[in-house]
Chain A
Amino acid sequence: MQKPVKPKTEQQRLSALFNTGLLDTEPELRFDRLTHLAQLCLDTEIVLVSLIDSDRQWFKSRQGLDACETHRDISFCGHTILGDGIFEIPDAQVDNRFTNNPLVLGAPFIRFYAGVPLSINGVNIGTLCFIDSKPRQFTDKERQIATEFGKTIEQEIQDRLQEHAHEILAAREQMYRSVLEGTRIGTWQWNVQTGDTVLNERWADIMGYTLAELEPVSVDTWLNLLHPDDVADSDAQLEAHLNGKAPFYDIKCRMKHKQGHYVWVHDRGKVVSYTADGQPLMMFGTHADITQQQLSEIALLHSRDELYKLTQQLPGVVYQYQSWPDGRSAFPYASTAIEEIYGVTPEEVRHDATNAFAKIHPDDLGLLVDSIERSLETLNLWELEYRIIANNDSFKWLSGRATPERMPDGSTLWHGYIQDITQTKEHYLKLEELNQQLNVAQQSLDLASEQAQIGYWQASLKQGTLWWSPMIYQIFGLNEQDFSPSVSLFKRAVHPDDVSKVEQSEDQARITGIHNVIHRIIRPNGEVRWVHELGQLVSEDKNPELIMIGSVQDITDRMKLQKIKDDFISTVSHELRTPLTSINGALTLLQSGKIVSLPEKAQKLMDIASSNCLQLSRLINDLLDIEKLAAGKMLFEMKPLNVPPLLQRALNDHQPYADLHNIILELQYASQINDMRIYVDEHRLLQILTNFLSNAVKFSPQNGQVTLSASVIGDQIEIAVQDQGCGISDDFKSRIFEKFSQADASSSKVKGGTGLGLALCKELTEAMHGKIGFNSNLEQGARFYVRFALTN
């Protein structure tokens, strides 16, 4: 027996066989009908469609045989597929290729065999074969019939393949259709050449229609619903696609809904076939409702605009700063305020931050770079106050804060805000400076307090708190560590004899807001000290806490000195005035001529002695008055006073003195003054007028006139003394009211003055709340006046 060899194209052949998908499938009528017909036509016992697999032959269709396959090595068909034409064995028993073939020796006892190769795609995959158990030979006609049947089977295999492919295609179409339905996407087909248009229900549904309502459908159906403003865009897109410039026709446009509003749709389509001459023929496309998406997008744009507007309103710059590992940095986003802050536009730093960094103050650049580096490494908030150089070489203070975020490309992106804090910073620096000044002031105060032995305290009447400076403890002879300040601690120290005096001042303070008292305290060791207490409420509009401040000064030494001085004055006044009393008394008695009468020359000497004695007496009185005033020991008997009688008295008192110098004294006042009163000490006012008048007489030329007048000026009465002297020289005007000042050193000898008179007048006037002054020019003489407020 001869085994069939394998053809050179075996691999291709097997591949073609598998592609037919026939192996091991169920019998099919389309093949069985043909094999049955061939069996009848050619009258053979067996007809098979045998497919030659790698090791076997398998029968897709069989007539007259039960087996469905045999081994390839014993197959006749294995031989058939090696050639092109029909392979015919008239008697297998005599053909040594098959003599001992099991199929010859045993069932089906093959004697006659004729096989027609079945060729698919140029390779033989199997045969249509005819078998008989008796030797036989086909006629030519029979061979022709067999061959034709073979061709028919081949066709049948091809048809079967086609059908199969078609089924797959149909299934796929069904699947795609389901997918489209699932996505709620409309579809369209458009014949570019004829304008024929096919739409699906969903297409119409998007615009609120049924397809039936849109009939007859044409390309106009589409155009009529398109928003007029979107037509141009659609045309441009279509042209670009048809010209091959765009791979798809792709447009987002508005279509009019049945209810009148517009819906947003996304249309995307493509030319799928062309005419023979290359013109676009069919276009297929989709039609998707993107209203929601579009509205969201519009809302997003809107909110972005809002955000943009918002960032423009901010005084500082909202920004993103990005830094890459290779050292590049940029501001991918910066609101326009960056121009105010850094002097650069957002565009200038969008891709490179160098411009912005160039503005940083050289002293702060290192700090800035370090802080960014640290934030980059730790991903912690970046925060810094730093300076930049502005255009005019001045600098601005900036404050920045930004949150870093690591990006997938390894860069770091900060989102932050930088604002100009120059003003705040300046205020802060000013505050620092003030604080410094305050410190210095505090130290000065402490030093002065130490030096002057003045302690000071603060109390909040609202909070009930009290604070003492260290000096207060020292004054009170207390140890600062052992006592906390308290009002009762203070009260306990007040000398018992002075308690009422202190309380009186406190009562006064409730009305005037000022506590001012000198009293004694007793230290724990029994030592008595004098203190001067001064306190006041801080002005009310700035003092919600009702802060009261005050000082306590140890004036024991001063009081001792005062005592010494008082004693001195007392002694001086006694010791000087006692002999003066004798001299004056003696001279007066002698001068009177009532005790003895004197010769003329003696009388003249008496006059000189008497006049000088009077002068000395006045000097002592003035001195003592000034001292009394300075010590606050002069008492004033203030009461409402009618001015004219006093004026008259002053005038009368001076008449003899004026007569002596041939001076005319004149009195002038408006009659209304008779009804007016001023509040003064009559005796002291007379003292002042006496001074004015004696000065005026002294400095008047012979036969001159001195005028004493009173006039009303506003709500005051002015009493003035005008002379016709030579006035007051300019260089003397500034010190006329100073003690021991006289116009020139010689005048006191000539005119006999103490140089204390006007100084005393000033003190007296002011002590009575009046005002003193003078007018003078060298030609018209001098005019001295005092003014006192009218009283009711």
Chain B
Amino acid sequence: MQLENILHVEDDESIRVIVDMALVDLSGYTLVSCDGGKSALTQIDQFTPDLILLDAMMPSMDGLQTLIELRKKPHCQHIPVVFMTARIQQSEQQEYLDAGAVAVIEKPFDPMSLGNQLATIYQTYIAAADNHSSE
């Protein structure tokens, strides 16, 4: 399975633009961008992504809260979520992984390799999930 559809949740518009260019223009993915957790929860009912790229620090509803709400939706329970954060303390990153994130990407990120990075994460996730289901 190839990574095709990505949902990006980010309150900062400039980053949304850069990610859009990096993933759509450079890597050719289908991308839906949301400016916060609430709109993501709305979007997800119409658009089911292969992977969700979720900013950690957002006003009103942060990444973790958004993740919890997303996971409440039956069709969202197994979509891999990748956090993106400017917080580099290991304890924080661990917090996201513990909450169910499959990976954490640090800001600032390299827009040139972001597409490949996500593809790799996705493939790793799929392989692990296959292993699980085959056991």
Q: Does A272 contact B (CB under 8 A)?
A: no
Q: Does B15 contact A (CB under 8 A)?
A: yes
Q: Is the CB of B26 within 8 A of A633?
A: no
11 intermolecular pairs with C-beta atoms under 8 Å apart: A577-B108, A578-B107, A580-B108, A581-B15, A584-B108, A585-B109, A589-B111, A592-B112, A594-B25, A633-B91, A634-B90
Q: Does A505 contact B (CB under 8 A)?
A: no
Q: Is the CB of B111 within 8 A of A585?
A: yes
Residues 564-589 of A at the B interface (beta carbon under 8 Å): 569-570, 573-582, 584-586, 588-589
Q: Does B3 contact A (CB under 8 A)?
A: no
A586 touches which one: B14, B57, B89, B91 (CB < 8 A)? B14
Q: Does B110 contact A (CB under 8 A)?
A: yes
A682 to chain B, nearest CB (A): 16
Kindly state the separation between the CA atoms of A329 and B109 in the bound complex, as whole angstroms.
Answer: 106
A589 touches which one: B22, B90, B92, B107 (CB < 8 A)? B22
Q: Is the CB of B25 within 8 A of A574?
A: no
Q: Does B86 contact A (CB under 8 A)?
A: yes
Kindly state the separation between the CA atoms of A532 and B34 in the bound complex, as whole angstroms.
Answer: 46
Q: Is the CB of A581 within 8 A of B90?
A: no
Given contacts A589-B21, A589-B22, contact A581 B91 (CB under 8 A): no
Q: Does B128 contact A (CB under 8 A)?
A: no
Kindly state the separation between the CA atoms of A579 and B25 in the bound complex, as whole angstroms.
Answer: 21
Q: Is the CB of A585 within 8 A of B18?
A: yes
Kindly state the separation between the CA atoms of A592 and B90 in the bound complex, as whole angstroms.
Answer: 31
Extra inter-chain contacts (20) besides given A578-B57, A586-B17, A589-B22, CB under 8 Å: A569-B89, A573-B89, A574-B85, A577-B86, A578-B12, A578-B15, A580-B108, A582-B15, A582-B18, A585-B19, A585-B109, A586-B14, A588-B112, A589-B111, A592-B112, A594-B26, A595-B25, A595-B26, A617-B108, A634-B90
Q: Does B87 contact A (CB under 8 A)?
A: yes
Q: Does B88 contact A (CB under 8 A)?
A: yes
- List the B side residues contacting A594 at CB < 8 Å: 25-26
- List the A side residues contacting B88 at CB < 8 Å: 573, 621, 624
Kindly state the separation between the CA atoms of A582 and B13 in the bound complex, as whole angstroms.
Answer: 9
Contact with A along B5-43 (1 / 0, CB 8 A): 000000010110111011001100000000000000000
- List the A side residues contacting B12 at CB < 8 Å: 578, 582
Kindly state the separation between the CA atoms of A570 and B92 in the bound complex, as whole angstroms.
Answer: 10
Q: Is the CB of A628 within 8 A of B14?
A: no
Q: Is the CB of A588 within 8 A of B87?
A: no
A631 to chain B, nearest CB (A): 9
Shortest Cβ distance from A584 into B: residue: B108
Given contacts A574-B87, A633-B90, contact A588 B15 (CB under 8 A): no
Q: Is the CB of A581 within 8 A of B109?
A: yes
The A interface is mostly helix, strand or loop, or mixed, namely helix
Contact with A along B87-122 (1 / 0, CB 8 A): 111111000000000000001111110000000000
A585 touches which one: B22, B25, B57, B92 (CB < 8 A)? B22
- List the A side residues contacting B21 at CB < 8 Å: 589, 595
- List the A side residues contacting B25 at CB < 8 Å: 594-595
- List the A side residues contacting B17 at CB < 8 Å: 586
A294 to chain B, nearest CB (A): 105
Kindly state the separation between the CA atoms of A589 and B57 in the bound complex, as whole angstroms.
Answer: 24
B97 to chain A, nearest CB (A): 14
Shortest Cβ distance from A617 into B: residue: B108
Shortest Cβ distance from B94 into A: residue: A635
- List the B side residues contacting A579 at CB < 8 Å: 14
- List the B side residues contacting A624 at CB < 8 Å: 88
- List the B side residues contacting A621 at CB < 8 Å: 88
Kindly state the separation between the CA atoms of A57 and B26 in the bound complex, as whole angstroms.
Answer: 191
Kindly state the separation between the CA atoms of A301 and B22 in the bound complex, as whole angstroms.
Answer: 121
Residues 651-677 of A at the B interface (beta carbon under 8 Å): none
Contact with A along B49-71 (1 / 0, CB 8 A): 00000000100000000000000
Q: Which residues of B contact A (CB under 8 A)?
A: 12, 14-15, 17-19, 21-22, 25-26, 57, 85-92, 107-112
- Which of A574, A624, A634 has the most chain B CB atoms inside 10 A of its CB? A574
Q: Which residues of A contact B (CB under 8 A)?
A: 569-570, 573-582, 584-586, 588-589, 592, 594-595, 617, 621, 624, 628, 633-635
A531 to chain B, nearest CB (A): 22
- List the A side residues contacting B85 at CB < 8 Å: 574
- List the B side residues contacting A628 at CB < 8 Å: 89
Kindly state the separation between the CA atoms of A585 and B21 in the bound complex, as whole angstroms.
Answer: 10
Q: Is the CB of A581 within 8 A of B107?
A: yes
Q: Is the CB of A570 within 8 A of B87?
A: yes
A570 touches which one: B89, B107, B108, B112 (CB < 8 A)? B89
- List the A side residues contacting B22 at CB < 8 Å: 585, 589
A573 touches which one: B14, B19, B86, B112 (CB < 8 A)? B86
Q: Is the CB of B18 within 8 A of A577?
A: no
Kindly state the separation between the CA atoms of A5 and B112 in the bound complex, as whole angstroms.
Answer: 187
A154 to chain B, nearest CB (A): 158
Q: Is the CB of A585 within 8 A of B108?
A: yes
Kindly state the separation between the CA atoms of A69 and B86 in the bound complex, as whole angstroms.
Answer: 171
Shortest Cβ distance from A580 into B: residue: B108
- List the B side residues contacting A582 at CB < 8 Å: 12, 14-15, 18
Report, nearest first, the 10 A-B pairs whose CB atoms are least far apart.
A585-B18, A582-B14, A577-B86, A581-B108, A581-B107, A574-B86, A585-B111, A584-B108, A577-B107, A580-B108
Shortest Cβ distance from B111 into A: residue: A585
B85 to chain A, nearest CB (A): 8
- List the B side residues contacting A635 at CB < 8 Å: 90
Kindly state the separation between the CA atoms of A547 and B87 in the bound complex, as whole angstroms.
Answer: 46
- List the A side residues contacting B86 at CB < 8 Å: 573-578, 581
- List the A side residues contacting B90 at CB < 8 Å: 633-635
- List the A side residues contacting B92 at CB < 8 Å: 570
B23 to chain A, nearest CB (A): 11
B132 to chain A, nearest CB (A): 26
- List the B side residues contacting A581 at CB < 8 Å: 15, 18, 86, 107-109
B15 touches which one: A574, A575, A585, A592 (CB < 8 A)? A585
Kindly state the separation between the CA atoms of A233 and B30 in the bound complex, as whole angstroms.
Answer: 146
Shortest Cβ distance from B114 into A: residue: A585
A82 to chain B, nearest CB (A): 164
Kindly state the separation between the CA atoms of A589 and B92 in the bound complex, as whole angstroms.
Answer: 29
- List the B side residues contacting A574 at CB < 8 Å: 57, 85-87
Kindly state the separation between the CA atoms of A582 and B92 in the bound complex, as whole angstroms.
Answer: 22
- List the A side residues contacting B19 at CB < 8 Å: 585
A627 to chain B, nearest CB (A): 10
- List the A side residues contacting B18 at CB < 8 Å: 581-582, 585-586, 589
Kindly state the separation between the CA atoms of A586 and B22 in the bound complex, as whole angstroms.
Answer: 10
A609 to chain B, nearest CB (A): 14
Q: Is the CB of B89 within 8 A of A633?
A: yes
Kindly state the separation between the CA atoms of A570 and B93 in the bound complex, as whole angstroms.
Answer: 12
A506 to chain B, nearest CB (A): 25
Shortest Cβ distance from B16 into A: residue: A582
Shortest Cβ distance from A578 into B: residue: B86
- Which of B21, B22, B107 has the most chain A CB atoms inside 10 A of its CB? B107
Kindly state the separation between the CA atoms of A595 and B25 in the bound complex, as whole angstroms.
Answer: 7
Q: Is the CB of A589 within 8 A of B112?
A: yes
B71 to chain A, nearest CB (A): 24
Shortest Cβ distance from B109 into A: residue: A581
- Which of A575, A577, A582, A621 has the most chain B CB atoms inside 10 A of its CB? A582
- List the A side residues contacting B89 at CB < 8 Å: 569-570, 573, 628, 633
Kindly state the separation between the CA atoms of A579 and B89 in the bound complex, as whole angstroms.
Answer: 18
Kindly state the separation between the CA atoms of A574 and B18 in the bound complex, as whole angstroms.
Answer: 18
Shortest Cβ distance from B15 into A: residue: A582
Kindly state the separation between the CA atoms of A585 and B26 in the bound complex, as whole angstroms.
Answer: 13
Kindly state the separation between the CA atoms of A576 and B91 in the bound complex, as whole angstroms.
Answer: 19
Kindly state the separation between the CA atoms of A585 and B89 in the bound complex, as whole angstroms.
Answer: 22
- Which of B12, B18, B19, B25 has the most chain A CB atoms inside 10 A of its CB? B18
A422 to chain B, nearest CB (A): 67
Shortest Cβ distance from A616 into B: residue: B108
Given contacts A577-B86, A578-B86, contact A588 B14 (CB under 8 A): no
Kindly state the separation between the CA atoms of A164 and B108 in the bound complex, as whole angstroms.
Answer: 159
Kindly state the separation between the CA atoms of A617 and B109 in the bound complex, as whole angstroms.
Answer: 11
A470 to chain B, nearest CB (A): 37
